[in-house]
Structure 1
Amino acid sequence: MTRKAGGRSGEGSWQWSRTAETRRGMLRAAREVFIERGFAESSVADVVERAGSSVGSLYHHFGGKSELFLALWDDHHNEYESNAASAVAKARAAGEDDPLELFVHGARAFLRGSWERRHLVRLFMDGDAPPGFELVRRTRGRDWIRQNAVLLGAGTGPEDRVIVTMLTSIIGEAGREVAACETAEEAAVVADTALRLIRRLNPLDMEA
């Protein structure tokens, strides 16, 4: 009985691993196809051919081309958040406790990711997209502002909201500019300029 139970458990783990790998393979293929052709000019057939999978499998895992695009966006944004959170945690562990400097550490990680995933940034910021994507992007943007407000220790009054929105907008637009750069050196200049601007504004002092 023990061996049989262990067998079922092992089989379940293998099945989960295979399912996860199938999903990752489709996302990799979707990333390549969408970047090459744009959302409107890409088809489900293009993606499954690139992934070496089947149309039925894609619909099973994602539901369709629009849902696949949104899943790719979600993974992209989750990676942004994970990298920024790791940078902030590392800075805290090193003894940094100034809210603005912690924000700068997170922002630098965000801008580094904007260069490393520049083709996706261009796709999501300037390319065509499925219906409803703009609402998803705005909603995620509002979540990002709220997270930054917590990091900066901002209040809920109008002045604080403006400050946090301003800082978030600077980093978001800088990320777009980083993704548009031709070289890593140029991207580094854009990132450093944005972070230097934030420090020069010193909005937390302005609030006081």
Structure 2
Amino acid sequence: MVRKTSDAAVHSGSWQWSRTAGTRRNLLDAAAAVFSEQGFTDAGISDIVARSGSSVGSLYHHFGGKTELFLALWDDYRNEHERLVAAAVAKARRSGESDPLALFNVGSRSYFDYTWEHRALERVFIEGDTPPGFEVLRRERGREWVRQNSVLLGTSEDTLGRLTVAVITDIITVAGQEVALSSTKREADDVVNAAAILVARLAG
């Protein structure tokens, strides 16, 4: 006999999932604020918990500890970057754009916009006060980004093509860091425009 799930049970399950997701989001947002203010080393679990309105138990349940929370925050940040870039490129394609370099520039602009908006958090990831193993994960993610850019730009798979995409990706990475360190939006825009010129020279 198949037991039907009651509406109340479904509602209860949805509410529980929503509450769990909300707690996790609150902890990530609190961690972003505390890490931005204090750095990774000086940030305390108690500070993050207090900022989030959650409990120490919730933090350890969802993330396991401060290091895992930092890595989860970085992963969340990178995933949102990728989501926004993909959405911007897809929108440009729907509008009829098909030139690989133009599409790459659209994606890059989206990347830079999000970096500027969250520049305090970007600085946390680039200024060196990070947990052990973080640089390895960042390099792995960087290699995946190179592969994605190679597909988007449609470059050749020979040595020159691979190196060209790697250099272009490095330009965007460094430019993103410079955007985060910029004092004004105008200064950040100058960085973005300079990066676009360099990419065009290499991809041309």
TM-score band (shorter)? over 0.9
| Residues 114-145 of structure 1: per-residue CA shift (max 9 Å, x gap) | 11110111100114111110111001100100
After superposition, give the CA deviation of every residue in 1:18-60 in whole Å (9 maximum; x if it has no partner): 0000001101110111110000001211111111211111100
Secondary structure of 1:40's match?
helix
Assess, with a 3 A threshold, how the Cα gap between structure 1 residues 4 and 149 changes in structure 2: closer, same or farther.
closer
C-alpha distance in 1, partners of 2:160/2:109? 25
How far did 1:103 drift?
0.8
Shift in CA distance, 202/133, structure 1 to aligned 2, threshold 3 Å: closer
Match of residue 73 from structure 1:
74
State the alpha-carbon separation in 2 of the partners of residues 20 and 175 from structure 1.
29
Matched letter for residue 98 of structure 1 = D
3-state SS of paired residue (2:93): helix
Deviation at 1:154, TM superposition (A): 2.1
How far off its partner does 1:3 sit? 9.2
Unaligned segments of structure 2, at least 5 residues? none
Trace 1:55-94 onto structure 2 (pairs within 5 A).
55-94=56-95
Distance 2:173 2:130 in 1: 19
Quote the residue 1:148 is aligned against: 149
Q: C-alpha distance in 1, partners of 2:137/2:57? A: 26
Query: For each residue in 1:68-88, what CA deviation from the matched residue of structure 2 results, as whole angstroms up to 9, or x when unmatched?
Result: 000100111011111111111
Post-superposition shift, 1:189?
1.4
For the 8 Å contact 1:108–1:195, the answer to whether it is kept is no
Runs of 4+ more than 3 Å apart: none
Within a 5 Å distance, the mapping from 1:98-113 to structure 2 comes to 98-113=99-114
Conserved in 2, the CA contact under 8 Å of 1:99 and 1:152? yes
Mapped to 1, the partners of 2:53 and 2:112 lie a distance apart of: 33
Q: Deviations over 1:157-199 (max 9, x none)?
A: 1111011001101111110111111111111111112112222
Identity in percent: 53
Q: Normalising by structure 2, what TM-score?
A: 0.95
Unpaired stretches in structure 1, ≥5 consecutive residues? none
8 Å CA contact 2:164–2:202 kept in 1: the answer is: no
Amino acid at match of 2:97: E
The answer (yes or no) to whether the contact 2:36–2:124 under 8 Å persists in 1 is: yes
| 1:154-165 matches, cutoff 5 A | 154-165=155-166
Please say if residues 38 and 127 of structure 1, whose CA atoms lie closer than 8 Å, have aligned partners that are also in contact. Answer: no
Letter in 2 for 1:186: E
Query: Which residue pairs with 1:44 in the alignment?
Result: 45
Distance in 2, Cα, partners of 1:196 & 1:108: 13
How many pairs are equivalent?
Answer: 203
